[in-house]
Amino acid sequence: MKKKSRDLEKTYPSAEFVAKLRRLADALEKGKRFAIMIAGERISVPSSAVFNIEHEREGKNEEIEFQVKWINK
């Protein structure tokens, strides 16, 4: 079954965000798949995913995005 397109942003309290980053870092160090719930959908990130960091600036607003990308097979 094909999943429908989705583009959302969810804000988390600092402690919850840190916990998710820590679990991601642990999975990366072990070369394992990473699973995460985002806005009610379980996402499974393969160990073959690629990572980048993006910085955006517009006027006084700045943003850093930690991105994880992969292609589902």
pLDDT tens, 18-63?
Answer: 999 999 999 999 999 999 988 888 999 999 999 999 999 999 999 9
DSSP state of 21: H
Q: What is the pLDDT of residue 9?
A: 87
Q: Which helix (H) or strand (E) holds 33?
A: none
- Predicted TM-score (pTM) of the model is 0.77
Residue owning tokens 């994880």: 68
Question: How confident is the model at residue 1, as a pLDDT?
Answer: 66
Instruction: Name the percent of the chain in helix, strand, coil, to the closest 5.
Output: 25, 40, 40
In three-state secondary structure terms, 43 is strand
Q: In this predicted structure, what is the pLDDT of residue 4?
A: 80
Q: How many Cβ atoms are within 10 Å of 4's Cβ, its own excluded?
A: 5
